[in-house]
Amino acid sequence: MNKPKIFLTTPPLNKIVEPLYDKPSFVRYSIASLAAVLLQEKITSDLQCIDAKFSQLDEVDLLKIILNFNPDIIGISSFTYEIEDAGKLAEKIKSVLPQTIISVGGPHISAIPEQCMQEFTAFDIGFIGEAEISFKEFCQKYAEKDKYVNIKGICYREKDKIIVNPEREKISNLDELPIPAWHLLPKAKEYFIQTSRGCPFNCNFCFNPNGNIVRQRSAENAIKEIEWLIENMQPKRISFGDEVFGSKNSNAEKILDLIIEKQIYKKVKWDIQTHVSFINEEFIKKLKKAQVSKIELGVESGNDEILKMIGKGINKEKIINAFNLCKKYKIKTGAFLIFGHPNETKESINETIKFACKLNPTEPIFAIMVPFPGTKIYEYYKNQKYNYTYNSTKWSEYRKQLNTVLKLKNISNKELRILLLKANVMIYLKNFRLIGLIKFSLSNFKSGIAFLKSIFLK
């Protein structure tokens, strides 16, 4: 049996709405990870990976590449705000390559598989959750008549029905996965890697396809990937995309020891994101010794009642202690904050702005709540609970900054965006960081113009 030609991609770039996401400085982890498994198992005779977003390819240019390659299987990795572009691309491909099997993976299809397949009829198959093993098995069976049967973690069409197969077990030993095939993608300034998967918390705004059990890569395995990236890709920054780096019983301490031993910090800037609960003085000391460049923490709100309701497992006191420790050891911080929680009011938002000013993180990151499918917030939103007003709109509107989806009964979407603008200005002015405000404005100039237009010209 001939091995299939496989093409992996992200949706094309048809319009730059939010430069941070539509013009990324990093290549997509998901397709690099899938490609690595296919190569390791020698599944394919020919494999091509294109991160269309990173390469700034529109639909016309991407289609030309696909038609020239003429693949047997196409895999598209898509977030919610990209799914419409992914669906349009699939339609165009089907019209000229009707025999090509078009698959989609990512958070959106994982959250609402049946609905996604019904909405976007050119997708032949969807991969739910971690796709490395499911995609490998499908590619092995792609020419068989019963190719969809007995593969866990997929959904597919059978005449007029959408079939969702049983869930696939999470990959328990992440060291079994090869290092992502970064060499198949262009060099990037930044790389996001994962030293673990999973998060034990249940935040109501987060869709967590990786599950609640934290699964670890060995420290040696993670460092091997970092060293490979440094040697072959010369990145300026490596970010640990773990949801909870430093969680209980994790390999974080061993990873930090190896970073110190091998002096990784002299070769590349690196940073982490983690949960406030894992920040303690001993951990911060080790991070400082390993010369972490930044620690990003989810703050979400400055109101204790909201923090309790969202399932974050923290309070303002814990947040303050975490940021004070970072400041004590002169470590830069990033803070994620959200406007539009259940039962949010203008008063609670202003409380959050005031709290953010007090924390004074190096990089404040404000966003309006996005009711992503698969989250409790999405259910509240659809059922108009906790002061939400359902606003049926395009998936392309489900964006973190230029978010026109969310509506509260007591705060208009426009008012939410004005409060977001206020927060981004006040945090710098209140802390006498005029130079910081200027730098922020210049680095986000295009995004800022688009954001102002969304407030005042609509």
pLDDT above 90: percentage of residues in the chain: 78
What pLDDT band is residue 145 in, cutting at 50, 70 and 90?
confident
Residue 401 confidence (pLDDT): 73
Residue 148 confidence (pLDDT): 87
pTM for the full predicted model: 0.93
Per-residue pLDDT at 453 exceeds 70: no
Per-residue pLDDT at 437 exceeds 70: yes
Q: What is the CATH number that goes with domain 183-456?
A: 3.80.30.20
Residue 17 confidence (pLDDT): 77
State mean pLDDT over 251-262: 95
State mean pLDDT over 201-218: 90
Q: Give the dihedral sign, CA 405/406/409/410.
A: negative
Residue 456 confidence (pLDDT): 66
Task: Answer whether CATH 3.40.50.280 is correct for domain 5-164.
Answer: yes
Query: pLDDT by residue (tens digit) across 167-183?
Result: 999 999 999 999 999 99
Residue 445 confidence (pLDDT): 60
Residue 450 confidence (pLDDT): 63
Rounded-to-integer distance, Cα 121 and Cα 104, Å: 12
Rounded-to-integer distance, Cα 162 and Cα 155, Å: 7
Phi and psi (nearest 5°) for 335? -130, 125
Mean pLDDT of all residues in the chain?
92
Per-residue pLDDT at 226 exceeds 90: yes
| Cβ atoms of 85 and 397 closer than 8 Å | no
Per-residue pLDDT at 406 exceeds 90: no
Per-residue pLDDT at 407 exceeds 70: yes
Residue 392 confidence (pLDDT): 75
Per DSSP bridges, beta strands 161-164 and 101-105 are unpaired
Residue 448 confidence (pLDDT): 62
Least confident residue range of 18-22, 55-59, 298-302, 379-383: 18-22
Per-residue pLDDT at 446 exceeds 70: no
Rounded-to-integer distance, Cα 382 and Cα 373, Å: 10
State mean pLDDT over 256-282: 96
| Dihedral angle of Cα 29, 30, 32, 37, to the nearest 10 degrees | 140
Residue 283 confidence (pLDDT): 95
Residue 51 confidence (pLDDT): 97
Least confident residue range of 279-283, 420-424, 433-437: 433-437
What pLDDT band is residue 452 in, cutting at 50, 70 and 90?
low
| Cβ atoms of 191 and 111 closer than 8 Å | no
Residue 97 confidence (pLDDT): 97
Least confident residue range of 31-35, 148-152, 154-158, 221-225: 148-152
Residue 439 confidence (pLDDT): 81
What pLDDT band is residue 455 in, cutting at 50, 70 and 90?
low
Least confident residue range of 144-148, 191-195, 314-318: 144-148
Minimal CA–CA distance to 367: which of 332, 402, 325, 318?
Answer: 402
Rounded-to-integer distance, Cα 363 and Cα 436, Å: 9
Each domain of the chain, given as residue ranges in start order, spans 5-164, 183-456
Per-residue pLDDT at 214 exceeds 70: yes
pLDDT above 70: percentage of residues in the chain: 96
Least confident residue range of 131-135, 301-305, 397-401, 451-455: 451-455
Per-residue pLDDT at 28 exceeds 80: yes
What pLDDT band is residue 376 in, cutting at 50, 70 and 90?
very high
Per-residue pLDDT at 432 exceeds 80: yes
Query: pLDDT by residue (tens digit) across 315-368?
Result: 999 999 999 999 999 999 999 999 999 999 999 999 999 999 999 999 999 999
